[in-house]
Structure 1
Amino acid sequence: MHLDFPVIIIDKDYRSESTGGLSIRALAKAIEKKGFEALGVTSYGDLTSFAQQQSRASAFILTIDDEDFREGRAEPTVASLRAFVKEIRCRNEDIPIFLYGETRTSVHIPNDVLRELHGFIHMFEDTAEFIGRYVIREAKAYLDSLAPPFFRALTHYAEDGSYSWHCPGHSGGVAFLKSPVGRMFHQFFGENMLRADVCNAVEELGQLLDHTGPVAASERNAARIFCSDHLFFVTNGTSTSNKIVWHSTVAPGDVVIVDRNCHKSVLHSIIMTGAIPVFLMPTRNHYGIIGPIPKEQFRWENIRKKIESHPFARDVKAKPRVLTITQSTYDGILYNVEEIKEMLDGAIDTLHFDEAWLPHAAFHDFYGDYHAIGADRPRCKDTMIFSTQSTHKLLAGLSQASQILVQDSQERKLDRDIFNEAYLMHTSTSPQYAIIASCDVAAAMMEAPGGTALVEESIAEALNFRRAMRKVEQEWGADWWFKVWGPDDLSEEGIEERAAWILKPGERWHGFGMLAEGFNMLDPIKATIITPGLDVDGDFADWGIPAAIVTKYLAEHGIIVEKCGLYSFFIMFTIGITKGRWNTMVTELQQFKDGYDQNLPLWKVMPEFLAKNARYAGYGLKDLCKQIHGIYAANDVAHLTTEMYLSDMEPAMKPTDAFARMAHREIDRVPIDQLEGRITSTLLTPYPPGIPLLIPGERFNATIVRYLRFARDFNERFPGFETDVHGLVKAVVNGKPVYSVDCVR
């Protein structure tokens, strides 16, 4: 394992035949004899990119010599040394750094540099073998300190070589070796992953289900890093985390306050718990971007009015059990959490922030109070705070890695035993230990200062992408170019300040109206790219480029985006994004523009798409855009979808009762043209944006039916660009597709 973490030696004479070169190479040889790789380079190079090598190094040796300290040269040498050490330490406080010289001593090195070092090596006072052992001892100690508790225990178990008599049945991967296809699987995933795939019978790894042993130690470690009172790893995504939180606090008949722009797992929680939902309605612009819930809706007197006007909630005397808010939205809109806490402390039992897209915010001052739980944040007096986070979305977790964070109130502490009953209800008794380990490691990676540096880099890359897109527009996009949704007045002086990203009342760029001052912010690492053809008022231009065509083009050129709307698509700058990745996005968009302007044939620019959809043979890229844009404009789809999501959603039954009708088969499968006035027994969720439109128990209105008719007709006319609506059941009758929804009989 240590061989993958070389000792990096920086010496301008590393490859020379001088005395210094010979001696430093002798040291490198001594290090390699002890089983460590030594990697020699001759200059610092670009400080920032070189300092990023700390993630793969076990130690640094920086050489200084008399030549560097001749009169007039000492100051530049010290400045370079100071800059390099600073770049390393802003990412990694612990990696060993050594200075190596012939005659110079600590007297010649400023103390601000000296105090960051692990040793000062003199070239001719000890043997290379002795110095090598000294360096390796420090490097080993550093590497041994890296692994957090559970990951450490899992690697030790996998390396132990014990025979396995427990589940899973592949017995550390051995079963795969008995079959040709199994051997292919083994070769693809590797020995370590399969040896580490164990069951909860392995006592030395602890238990996820009762939070004991190394698992518990890692959850405590992660709670410390994320500044929460309690933290629980979850191995089936934040969908499951949300259900655990709800089942720990909500019972049948309870009133709950829910962001209408919520993930479907929250709606599943409503159905499962038997709760009565009262919804807060977010704003929405005509790009189809979902905005924030206006601040006025959070005021208790306004929530109380909503409850009193609700047919099923008005008679419930107890205070609402939970309020769930989507923080951040898909497109990166954040709420000032401290203002919400101040308005609702004591009025609602639990505040739950679905921060699936925001686990990074606690590690950078840029986000201030625009996330749920962090260092030095005040506690509510009575209300408990939950945050559910997708470790796998913005941090370095494996898919389905999630976590639940809890902040106790001044008057209430989490009852871990009661909470764990809900946790057990939704957690497999055979959790995937690689996912647990990734939760453990993802948290350890965010330990300061490394976590702060990672988030800093994400923000910097996102800002550089925005700058690059604007530069292309200025130099090449006089006729048209793609825009990155965000504030218009991002001057170079202020773009990196939080104030530049606060949504101000009435600004045209966001289109959300008169928002409260300072209540909402746009996370710059979420980039929604706007394609030509539609403005924020919902007015269609004479020509346009539907986003679905752009994203299919990008997919054929190796770029997969996160979400696609009518005239927008969404990308994220996670901690894994690189300069090469976003620069490739810019260049591919330029290639698309060139292909559109020339109306290049689809067989040339999108051959895979054309092979699956031969009806578009003979089309050029501009031809295809013109066809779909024309249909969107003729049906005024931007206004239709806005009206649809903001229309009155009449609750005719409790969600759990309507869903029970489906379970009991007390339903009718109703065609689209007959839906108006009927009560749905299932979730109806159009993609995009993937936000449920109706939930069980709500009644279809004319606007929603009109949209479903459009989606049906569009799908028949433009195969390959179908609007996916979960909840629509497709059947073929007399050779033609018929779309229906399961409704209460």
Structure 2
Amino acid sequence: MKFRFPVVIIDEDFRSENISGSGIRDLAEAIGKEGMEVVGFTSYGDLTSFAQQASRASCFILSIDDEEFGSGSDEDVSIALKAIRDFITEVRKRNNDIPIFLYGETRTSRHISNDILRELHGFIHMFEDTPEFVARHIIREARKYLDCLAPPFFRALMDYASDSSYSWHCPGHSGGVAFLKSPVGQMFHQFFGENMLRADVCNAVDELGQLLDHTGPVSASEANAARIFNADHLFFVTNGTSTSNKVVWHSTVAPGDIVVVDRNCHKSILHSIIMTGAIPVFLMPTRNHYGIIGPIPKSEFDPETIRKKIEANPFARKAKNKKPRILTITQSTYDGILYNVETIKSMLGNTIDTLHFDEAWLPHAAFHPFYRNMHAIGEGRPRSDETLVFATQSTHKLLAGLSQASQILVQDGTNRKLDTHRFNESYLMHSSTSPQYAIIASCDVAAAMMEPPGGKALVEESLHEALDFRRAMHKADEEFGKDDWWFKVWGPLPQSEEGVGDRDDWVIHEDDTWHGFGRIESGFNMLDPIKSTIITPGLNLNGEFDEDGIPAAIVSKYLAEHGIIIEKTGLYSFFIMFTIGITKGRWNSMVTELQQFKDDYDHNLPMWRVMPEFAAKHPQYERIGLRDLCSAIHSVYKEYNVARITTDMYLSNIEPAMTPADAWAKMAHRDVERVSIDELEGRVTAMLVTPYPPGIPLLVPGERFNATIISYLKFARDFNSRFPGFETDVHGLVRESVDGEDRYFVDVVKD
């Protein structure tokens, strides 16, 4: 396979008509004749941006000719050396291995300091060897570098795909050949390309190893990733972190076991509770009136507090074994709240059999000191005696994996090690026997990309971009002034003008009020600044509505119509992430589009003009002004006091009437009935009930509906009828047409 990794030459004489320019062009021509592409530049330009070329180059050749040293004075020499030193430093922040050569006509290594020399792969003295000889020397080093880039599985997959072997195994498209027999297949083949289709193979290919039993190149890649993430064991998963969570649970939990779970966990954890027949005891997080989920208070992790919760639960207190089998915490929350993991480990000791941190949104944390102690598994972490620690991570969310790329990390205890053979039985239970090999390769490559020092540089760039975005938003707010409105970014203000600044600025302290969670013990939690929740006008932290407001759903739809898709939308907030793929261009586009929204809102421009696609689908809004529509939706939110309802319903006292597994069994046996919202109070749900936003399950099968929850469902019913196109979605709430009228029902256990 041919890849484009050119040799990059930096020489101010590259295009000059002098002897120096002629010499470097002769070298470039000789390199080109050997089959390597050459790209020439005449200056370094912006060092940071230029050094990022390291990801696209096979090597660098830097000139130290007399011209670069000016007159040869000490000052000119110092300036020239500084430019070279700064460039090499920027490259080495990202890449320890790419070859760097210096070359000159009169200058030699005696003019270069040791800190520069030790970073080089060679020194070329022009005109002492032929250009052809020097070219072959450079190409040899460049190819050695490129040959070592690919991690084990990706390398084996590329070799297989380029081997042109005839395949008689599935998948049936046989390396893409089947697609070539149909017009629409031809279109598919051209869109995705031959390499992807040749690499889509079945698990019968011995030379690629086996994901299901972790052998061959797959095993080598998992071991390589475990080293990079400082885990004792690491397993790639091709079905997402939902499946990773289920693998961990099924390897640990059996029917009747007590499990301790974050009440605002991902639904895959609740699915795991149902599937394993576990008895859940919930830890209750805080919330603010923006609908942002806060941390579980530190006191909730006290073993005595957990014991009391077990005794208060009608099913857990009857269990034979009162030691919880697993504790699962969402780390980080969807809005970026992190826990000090080492504090949790030290508080719990060996009182929990297994600790599981759902780090779907946190795989980047292991690679930067900014996150020390705020992620589950890392270098030099203390071990529990008997407790295993699992972390499940979505490689596809914050790193560079394809969709569904995930991984399971394990830290052994001092006296208890993971039995990989028994664990793999659970892994097999939840894994496809036809895994997608491109996803495996992306797990492999995503891990390799985080190899130091590259991983730290990538995470630091994410932090820089996120903080610069916050600074830009705050600057805009200051320019508009107190008599005008603008969007806020939830969280503390960056105290530094540049860079990452002090990590302590993002740690939550006891007297902080910016978050709206009440008093939080100092040092136990931190906000990850790459998770940015943008607050729209209309609601304050106390849950009080302003006279005017801008519901976030309208802003999200406006941005989508202007080519900006955001991650999650609340009532008066929406959420974006600064992954390692976010650039200055993207977040600056966000700022400018928000500026455009403000201008359109202030002028109350009609919807047909500012959101023509949406208005075409929903013509009832066509002539309504943007500000008028915002006011109409805001007034309904205010009428129902929906900010307080959505807070209270999650914090309300929810009664467990059955275990989740027993309630699910009622559903499976059709021993349920569909009941309207008005008749729900006191009934036991057979389904997960999950409002969007925020997408967090509100009720688990086996729990009773209370008045607070029903009041929210009535709001959703009324709102949806009044504002089609902005519907509040509640998973588990069934909408059916009865006599031409939309009515809402939930499947509950028969009395």
Aligned to 1:359: 363
- Residue identity opposite 1:344 in structure 2: L
Pair 1:595-2:630 in alignment? no
**Equivalent residue for 1:169, pick from 159, 167, 172:** 172
- Residue identity opposite 1:681 in structure 2: A
CA drift of 1:687 comes to 0.5
**Equivalent residue for 1:117, pick from 117, 120, 123:** 120
Give RMSD over aligned pairs: 0.9
Counterpart of 2:537 in 1: which secondary structure? coil
- Matched ranges for 1:505-584 at <5 A: 505-584=510-589
Note the alpha carbon deviations across 1:149-208, whole angstroms, 9 max, x for none: 000000000000000000000000000000000000000000000000000000000000
Note the alpha carbon deviations across 1:197-228, whole angstroms, 9 max, x for none: 00000000000000000000000000000000
CA drift of 1:73 comes to 1.1
**Equivalent residue for 2:428, pick from 421, 424, 427:** 424
CA drift of 1:498 comes to 1.2
Counterpart of 1:279 in 2: which secondary structure? strand
- CA contact under 8 A between 2:238 and 2:436: conserved in structure 1? yes
CA drift of 1:491 comes to 4.6
Note the alpha carbon deviations across 1:367-415, whole angstroms, 9 max, x for none: 0101100111111122110000000000000000000000000110000
Aligned to 1:377: 381
Pair 1:150-2:153 in alignment? yes
- CA contact under 8 A between 1:227 and 1:374: conserved in structure 2? yes
CA drift of 1:492 comes to 3.4
Aligned to 1:673: 678
- Residue identity opposite 2:83 in structure 1: S
Aligned to 2:340: 336
CA drift of 1:505 comes to 1.9
Counterpart of 1:421 in 2: which secondary structure? helix
- Residue identity opposite 1:605 in structure 2: V
- CA contact under 8 A between 1:488 and 1:509: conserved in structure 2? no
Note the alpha carbon deviations across 1:440-494, whole angstroms, 9 max, x for none: 0000000000000000000000000000001111113541100000014735389
CA drift of 1:514 comes to 1.2
Pair 1:453-2:453 in alignment? no
- CA contact under 8 A between 1:98 and 1:117: conserved in structure 2? yes
CA drift of 1:730 comes to 1.3
Counterpart of 2:94 in 1: which secondary structure? coil
Q: After the TM superposition, which of the residue ranges 676-685 and 58-67 deviates more from structure 2?
A: 58-67
- CA contact under 8 A between 2:237 and 2:406: conserved in structure 1? yes
CA drift of 1:507 comes to 2.3
Query: Unmatched 5+ residue regions in structure 2?
Result: none
* Percent of residue pairs bearing the same amino acid type: 74
User: What CA distance in whole angstroms lies between the structure 2 residues aligned with 1:381 and 1:27?
Assistant: 61
Note the alpha carbon deviations across 1:316-345, whole angstroms, 9 max, x for none: 232100000000000000000001000112
Aligned to 1:303: 306
- Residue identity opposite 2:29 in structure 1: K
User: What CA distance in whole angstroms lies between the structure 2 residues aligned with 1:395 and 1:701?
Assistant: 41
Pair 1:732-2:737 in alignment? yes
- CA contact under 8 A between 1:3 and 1:37: conserved in structure 2? no
Pair 1:398-2:405 in alignment? no
Q: After the TM superposition, which of the residue ranges 315-324 and 298-307 deviates more from structure 2?
A: 315-324
Aligned to 1:180: 183
Change (3 A) 1:493 1:562: closer
- CA contact under 8 A between 2:464 and 2:500: conserved in structure 1? no
User: What CA distance in whole angstroms lies between the structure 2 residues aligned with 1:501 and 1:91?
Assistant: 25
User: What CA distance in whole angstroms lies between the structure 1 residues aligned with 2:526 and 2:325?
Assistant: 27
**Equivalent residue for 2:232, pick from 229, 232, 248:** 229
User: What CA distance in whole angstroms lies between the structure 1 residues aligned with 2:481 and 2:739?
Assistant: 50
- Residue identity opposite 2:603 in structure 1: Q
Note the alpha carbon deviations across 1:683-727, whole angstroms, 9 max, x for none: 000001000000000000000011000000100000010000000
Aligned to 1:58: 58
- Residue identity opposite 2:341 in structure 1: V
User: What CA distance in whole angstroms lies between the structure 2 residues aligned with 1:164 and 1:496?
Assistant: 55
- CA contact under 8 A between 1:287 and 1:538: conserved in structure 2? yes
- Matched ranges for 1:456-535 at <5 A: 456-478=460-482, 479-488=484-493, 490-492=495-497, 496-535=501-540
**Equivalent residue for 1:659, pick from 664, 667, 690:** 664
Pair 1:692-2:697 in alignment? yes
Query: Unmatched 5+ residue regions in structure 1?
Result: none
- CA contact under 8 A between 1:508 and 1:536: conserved in structure 2? no
Pair 1:77-2:80 in alignment? yes
**Equivalent residue for 1:283, pick from 283, 286, 289:** 286
User: What CA distance in whole angstroms lies between the structure 2 residues aligned with 1:78 and 1:2?
Assistant: 36
- Matched ranges for 1:134-283 at <5 A: 134-283=137-286
- Residue identity opposite 1:147 in structure 2: A
Aligned to 2:318: 315
- CA contact under 8 A between 1:3 and 1:36: conserved in structure 2? no
User: What CA distance in whole angstroms lies between the structure 2 residues aligned with 1:146 and 1:226?
Assistant: 18
Counterpart of 1:227 in 2: which secondary structure? coil
- CA contact under 8 A between 2:552 and 2:574: conserved in structure 1? yes
User: What CA distance in whole angstroms lies between the structure 1 residues aligned with 2:392 and 2:261?
Assistant: 15
Detail structure 1 runs of 4+ shifted over 4 Å in the superposition.
none
Note the alpha carbon deviations across 1:396-443, whole angstroms, 9 max, x for none: 000000000000001100000110000000000000000000000000
Relative to the length of structure 1, the TM-score reads 0.99
Pair 1:20-2:7 in alignment? no
- CA contact under 8 A between 2:495 and 2:505: conserved in structure 1? yes
Aligned to 1:434: 438
Q: After the TM superposition, which of the residue ranges 491-500 and 538-547 deviates more from structure 2?
A: 491-500
Relative to the length of structure 2, the TM-score reads 0.98
Aligned to 1:611: 616
Counterpart of 1:743 in 2: which secondary structure? strand
